[in-house]
């Protein structure tokens, strides 16, 4: 198996179609194939053992991804916000590397890596080159992508995604050539996020034109979606919030947009309800996945969204905030601390198994169990029909007097309060209980709520042990750039300011 | 019958009984469902296990998630 199989099939099936465009620059599938070959030749000649891209979205990302697969070296998309010591440490861990970056950085990093080229030079050589290596290796265990995980819990680690994981994910979730010739997917997630990688692979295999946004801003996203007649898009919740604000403020519609998928963080129910109302023609899909699972493992599809939004049954309506059910190619269980499957409605750790699941980090022992299950460290609950509800990271679970409390469950309740725009719940040290519940709240601009009202609101809807002992107010909460709440940061802030 | 990697004779002719074709990116399954193949290189011939032809597997599209 090799990712180049996907591009070779697309080239054979619809080679003249536009595969990808970035502003005015475009590549058809045949051109992308040729460019990958020429870039592969250059990387092979350099003797580098990894191909890294430190840049915003551009044509260099897909060209680099497939070139790396062709040569048989890992592709390493790096976070372009990194600087100084952090960046040096990552580059040292992937040496000897062939690095593609922007012109400003190319000079400064020349001493750090084997070969450094600026993006435009890399692309010009790839588009103009005629040399290409021979057949790519079909070694399914070769590493396809090394992805440094976002590190909301500590130092970054590189997840190892082998050719077999990535190709299995695509074969298991996408039908070849299923896109219409007029379909276009807007990709605005950064290339160093698993969703950015998965978007390229899924679109190539389905024959859907990729429209790249170099980096996300809501006005630019809406403008590009309208101009390029975008039909499909993946967004993280914070992006959708801002997009919906722009649409409402400017009175704009997105008449071509048929499918919006979202994931990467908690989607507040008011945001998804507002988005569905503003974009009635679009089908919404919530996807849950991890870097270590080669992207999506569960989906809440358009039919689930419509059924939940239209239902009078609170249990069905609540599915709007679930991440749906496991893909057919994935086995999923929620297990208790002893490893036994939890019954429906009982919270535990999410475990998954399937050919796309890697569960491996560079230089560390595999996290998979002997029989192939990956403990995700995500807490969740399945309902009676197999819909999965996420409850945050296991490490974020608040242990109060021996009782395990889920921050996600309390946040969901708080967000239903009319004065509360956003909130984060974390555990703080407590002499009596071990840990106590703390809620950090952002109110809507014109609304207020008192700590006692917050406690009472939770008490009425959940058990009194869930009511936050400590309630603080902020103008905004700390998120990483893909919309994950940085609970570690919240805990640190709360520790500094004693109640 | 040819071994893997062996060249076919230049005058080899396709058996009309096995000329249904195999299409790029389609999946084919055996009658018992114990064998599934994905076509990565298309051709005029059709697939069979012994005398039992493989049949086209209906696609069940999933919602686009990325």
Tens of pLDDT, residues A411-434 = 989 999 999 999 999 999 888 888
What confidence tens digit (pLDDT) does each residue in A206-237 have? 999 999 999 899 999 999 999 999 999 999 88
| Residue A433, pLDDT score | 87
Domain chopping of chain A, boundaries? 3-306, 307-395, 397-496
Interface residues from chain A to B (CB-CB < 8 Å): 5, 8-9, 12-13, 171, 173-178, 195, 198-199, 202, 206, 232, 234, 259, 261, 263, 283, 285, 287, 289, 295-296, 299, 301-302, 327-328
DSSP state of A351: E
| Model pLDDT, residue B3 | 86
What's the average model confidence in pLDDT over B47-58? 90
**Calpha distance A58→A118 (Å, rounded):** 12
Residue A267's pLDDT is: 80
Q: What is the distance between the alpha carbons of residues A26 and A23, in angstroms, rounded to a whole number?
A: 8
Higher model confidence: residue A80 or residue A471? A471
Q: Which residue has the tokens 């169990």?
A: A369
Helices A60-71 & A194-206 angle (0-180, nearest 10):
80
Average pLDDT over residues A362-368: 89
State pLDDT tens for residues A177-214: 999 999 999 999 999 999 999 999 999 999 999 999 99
CA distance A321 to A312: 15
Task: Give chain A positions within 8 Å (CB) of B24.
Answer: 9, 12-13, 176-177
Structure-token pair, residue A12: 């054979």
Instruction: Judge whether residue A39 has pLDDT over 70.
Output: yes
- Enumerate the residues of chain A whose CB falls inside 8 A of the CB of residue B63: 259, 261, 283, 285, 299, 301-302
CB contacts of A234 in chain B (<8 Å) are: 65-66
What is the pLDDT at residue A235? 93
Lowest mean pLDDT among A60-69, A140-149, A490-499: A490-499
What is the ipTM for the molecules in this complex?
0.90
Paired strand residues for A233 = A186, A260
Q: What is the pLDDT of residue A154?
A: 55
Residue A472 belongs to what H/E stretch? strand A470-473
> Helices (DSSP H) in A183-236: which residue ranges?
194-206, 218-227
Flag whether pLDDT at A391 surpasses 90.
no
Query: A3-306 maps to which CATH number?
Result: 3.40.50.12780
Taken in order A145, A185, A227, A221, the sign of the CA dihedral is negative
pLDDT attached to residue A155: 64
Q: Mean pLDDT, chain A, as a whole number?
A: 92
pLDDT, mean of residues A487-491 = 89
Whether the domain at A307-395 and the domain at A397-496 fall into the same CATH topology: no
CATH superfamily of A397-496: ANL, C-terminal domain (3.30.300.30)
Peptide bond into A96 cis (omega under 30): yes
Looking up tokens 């009202």, which residue turns up? A453
Judge whether residue A357 has pLDDT over 90.
yes
pLDDT more than 90, % of chain A: 75
* Amino acid A151: pLDDT: 53
Distance CA A139, CA A143 (A): 9
For the domain made up of A307-395, give the CATH fold.
Luciferase; domain 3 (2.30.38)
Picking from A4, A10, A173 by the largest number of B CB atoms within 10 A of its own CB, the best residue to mutate is A173
Give the pLDDT band of residue A499 (cuts 50, 70, 90). low
pLDDT band, residue B23 (cuts 50/70/90): very high
Give the separation between CA A366 and CA A353, rounded to whole angstroms: 13
Predicted pLDDT of residue B2:
81
- ∠ CA(A416), CA(A418), CA(A422), 5° rounding? 65
Compare CB distances from B65 to A176, A178, A296 and report the shortest one's residue: A296
Tell me the CA distances in angstroms from A18 to A158, A167, A395, one per residue in order: 32, 22, 44
Q: Any idea what the Cα angle at residue A279 is, between residues A274 and A283, rounded to 5°? A: 105
Banded pLDDT at A498 (limits 50, 70, 90)? low
The continuous run of DSSP H or E covering B27 comes out as strand B27-29
According to the model, what pLDDT value does residue A188 have? 94
User: pLDDT by residue (tens digit) across A146-159?
Assistant: 999 755 555 678 99
Are residues A176 and B26, on separate chains, in Cβ contact within 8 Å?
A: yes
How would residue B12 be classed by pLDDT, with cut points 50, 70 and 90?
confident
Report, as an integer, the average pLDDT of A294-303.
Answer: 96
Among A8, A13, A261, the residue with its CB nearest the CB of B64 is A261
β-pair partners for A180: none
pLDDT at res. A27: 98
Mean pLDDT of A114-141: 94
DSSP secondary structure letter of residue B22: B
Whether residue A337 is predicted with pLDDT greater than 60 in this model: the reply is yes
Instruction: Please say if the pLDDT value at position B54 is more than 80.
Output: yes
Task: Establish, for the pair of chains A and B, how many residue pairs have beta carbons separated by less than 8 Å.
Answer: 62
The distance of B26 to chain A (nearest Cα, Å) reads 7
User: Would you say residue A287 has pLDDT above 90?
Assistant: yes
């Amino acid at each position: 198996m090799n990712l180049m199989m996907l591009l070779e099939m697309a080239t054979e099936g619809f080679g003249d179609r536009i595969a990808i465009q970035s502003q005015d620059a475009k590549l058809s599938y045949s051109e992308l194939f040729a460019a990958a070959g020429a870039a592969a030749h250059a990387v092979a000649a350099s003797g580098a053992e990894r191909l890294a891209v430190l840049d915003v979205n551009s044509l260099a990302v897909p060209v680099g991804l497939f070139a790396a697969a062709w040569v048989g070296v890992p592709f390493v998309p790096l976070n372009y916000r990194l600087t100084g010591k952090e960046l040096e440490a990552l580059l040292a861990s992937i040496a000897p590397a062939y690095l593609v970056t922007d012109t400003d950085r190319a000079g400064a990093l020349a001493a750090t890596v084997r070969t450094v080229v600026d993006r435009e030079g890399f692309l010009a050589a790839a588009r103009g080159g005629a040399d290409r290596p021979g057949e790519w290796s079909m070694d399914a265990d070769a590493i396809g992508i090394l992805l440094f995980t976002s590190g909301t819990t500590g130092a970054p680690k590189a997840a190892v995604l082998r050719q077999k994981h990535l190709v299995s994910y695509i074969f298991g979730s996408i039908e070849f050539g299923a896109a219409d010739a007029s379909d276009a997917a807007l990709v605005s997630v950064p290339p160093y996020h698993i969703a950015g990688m998965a978007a390229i692979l899924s679109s190539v295999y389905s024959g859907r034109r990729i429209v790249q946004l170099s980096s996300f801003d809501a006005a630019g996203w809406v403008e590009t979606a309208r101009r390029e007649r975008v039909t499909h898009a993946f967004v993280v919740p914070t992006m959708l919030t801002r997009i919906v604000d722009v649409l409402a403020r400017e009175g704009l519609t997105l008449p071509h947009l048929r499918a919006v998928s979202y994931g990467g963080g908690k989607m507040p129910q008011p945001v998804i309800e507002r988005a569905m109302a503003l974009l009635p023609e679009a089908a919404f899909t919530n996807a849950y996945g991890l870097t270590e699972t080669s992207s999506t493992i569960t989906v809440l599809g358009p039919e689930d969204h419509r059924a939940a939004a239209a239902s009078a049954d609170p249990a069905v309506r609540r599915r709007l905030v679930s991440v749906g059910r496991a893909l057919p190619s994935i086995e999923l269980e929620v297990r208790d601390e002893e490893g036994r499957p939890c019954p429906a409605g009982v919270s535990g750790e999410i475990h998954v198994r399937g050919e796309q699941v890697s569960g491996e980090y560079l230089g560390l022992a595999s996290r998979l169990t002997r029989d192939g299950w990956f403990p995700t460290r995500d807490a969740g609950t399945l309902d009676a029909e197999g819909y999965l509800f996420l409850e945050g990271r296991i490490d974020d679970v608040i242990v109060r007097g021996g009782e395990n409390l889920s921050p996600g469950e309390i946040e969901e309740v708080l967000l239903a309060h009319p004065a509360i725009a956003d909130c984060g719940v974390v555990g703080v040290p407590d002499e009596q209980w071990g840990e106590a519940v703390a809620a950090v709240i952002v109110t809507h601009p014109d609304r207020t709520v008192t700590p006692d009202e917050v406690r009472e609101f939770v008490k009425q809807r959940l058990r009194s042990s869930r009511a936050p002992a400590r309630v603080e107010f902020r103008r905004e909460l700390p998120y990483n750039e893909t919309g994950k709440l940085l609970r570690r940061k919240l805990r640190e802030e709360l520790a500094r300011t004693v109640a | 019958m040819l071994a893997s990697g062996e060249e076919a004779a230049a005058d080899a002719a396709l058996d009309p009984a096995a000329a249904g074709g195999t299409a790029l990116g389609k999946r084919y399954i055996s009658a018992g469902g114990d064998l599934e193949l994905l076509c990565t290189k298309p051709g005029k011939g059709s697939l069979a296990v012994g005398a039992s032809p493989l049949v086209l597997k209906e696609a069940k599209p999933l919602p686009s998630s990325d």
